[in-house]
Chain A
Amino acid sequence: AQTVTQSQPEMSVQEAETVTLSCTYDTSESDYYLFWYKQPPSRQMILVIRQEAYKQQNATENRFSVNFQKAAKSFSLKISDSQLGDAAMYFCAYRSSGTSYGKLTFGQGTILTVHP
C-alpha cells in the first residue's frame, strides 16, 4: 500500500517570503499522480497543484511550484511571495494511475502560519 509522509507538522513564514513544505511517499508503481491540497479554517479542501509522475517538468501554478524528485520519492511545495491568505493546513496526496477512480492517499498535513 502507498503511504504519504509529511514530516513537518507546522511551518511558519513571513509575509512576502518563500516557504517550502516537504512530502515523501512510498510506492512500487511507476506511474501515479501527486497533489497538494489546501484546507483553510473553513475546512474546504482546495486543489493547489498536481503533478503527473511521467512528466519530468515540475508543475507550477502562479506562486505555487513543486520540486518533484521521482527517484527520491519526494514532492515538495514551494510558496513564493507568501500572503496572509495562504495560511492553512496543506495536505500532500497520492493517487495511483492504475484505475480511473483511484482513491487519494493523504499525508498527515502541515499547518502553515503566515506572519504579517
Chain B
Amino acid sequence: EPEVTQTPSHQVTQMGQEVILRCVPISNHLYFYWYRQILGQKVEFLVSFYNNEISEKSEIFDDQFSVERPDGSNFTLKIRSTKLEDSAMYFCASYTPWDSSRGYTFGSGTRLTVV
C-alpha cells in the first residue's frame, strides 16, 4: 500500500538554528498538509498546500515557518529559527478526493527536539 515517507525520523537542533523536515507524499495525491503534536497533546493543523501554494494556514504557522514542493515529489517544512517550544512531533499527510475512502494518509512523523 502506498505510504507517506518522512525524513528524518528524529532531529535534534540547537535553538535558533534552521531545520528542514522532509516528506514524500503519495504520488497521485494532490493535497498536502503538515500537522504537529506536542508531546501528550492533541494533533494541531499547521498548513495545507495545493497546486503549489498554501491553501490554508493556522495561527501557529507564523513567519518562522515555510513550505515548498521543490521538485514535484518532496514536500518540505522549514522552520527558520527554532525555539524550544517548537519541540514536537511533526506529521506530513496527503490526500486525494478520488480515493477519499482512505481518508488522509499520514507519515510516521519527525520528532523534532530543540535544545
Chain A residues with a Cβ under 8 A of chain B: 35, 37, 42-47, 50, 91, 93, 99-109
Contact = CB atoms under 8 A, between A and B. Distances in A.
A42 B10 CA distance: 12
Dominant SS among interface residues on chain B: strand
Contacts of B111: 43
Contacts of A42: 108
B89 A103 contact: no
B95 interface: yes
Contacts, number: 57
Contacts of B103: 35, 47, 50
Band of interface residues on B = 20 to 34
B45 A103 contact: yes
A68 B37 CA distance: 27
A101 B101 contact: no
Interface stretch (B12-20, B48-56, B79-87): B48-56
Contact of B42 (A44, A47, A99, A107): A107
A60 to B, nearest CB: 14
B43 interface: yes
Nearest to B31: A101
B97 to A, nearest CB: 5
Contact of B108 (A37, A43, A99, A100): A43
- 6 closest A-B pairs by beta carbon, nearest first, are A45-B106, A103-B45, A101-B31, A106-B43, A47-B103, A108-B42
